Amino acid sequence: MTAIDTYKVLDQLETLVEDSKKFMGFVKLDEEEFFMLVSKLRASLPEDVRRAGKITQNSDKIMEAAQSEAEMALESARADGQRVLSESKTEAERILGEAKAHCEALVQQSEIQRIATAQAREIVAQAGQEADDIRAGADDYARDILMTLEEQVAEAMGQ
């Protein structure tokens, strides 16, 4: 059917509606004639128009499939994101625990060094005091010996 034939069928449909009985805005049509004209119109549609209709139907299905796939991909991405976040938190907690343990070890080591330094100072102070006491004792002893020697020399000379 040509484009002219298509227009003729459209004209026949208009005439069918115009010539039909009307009642309160409704039209009573000859059903058989109406469907015959619609069939002629369908048959007269070019193949491209029919394909376009099928493509439209297919595009709806493709859009639904794409939407479904996108939702699945989004859900998968969310799940992956949650997994990575959970793993990151676990790793961060592990690293933080190690850092705290290291800090505590350093504090303990620092405390040990502080105690050792204090003890070393105390030992040095005690050693210094003992050395002073020994020196004082040695000085006293040397003085006593010198005095005794002086007395003995004085006696020996005085005789």
Tens of pLDDT, residue by residue over 57-82, are 888 888 898 899 989 999 999 999 99
Q: What is the pTM of this model?
A: 0.39
- Domain layout of the chain by residue ranges: 1-45, 46-158
Predicted pLDDT of residue 48:
64
The pLDDT tens digits of the residues spanning 105-148 come to: 888 898 889 899 999 999 999 999 999 999 999 999 999 999 99
Residue 26 DSSP one-character state: E
User: Which residue in 32, 3, 34, 1 sits closest to 17, CA to CA?
Assistant: 34
Core vs surface per residue 18-36: b (16+ CB within 10 A) or e: eeeeeeeeeeebeeeeeee
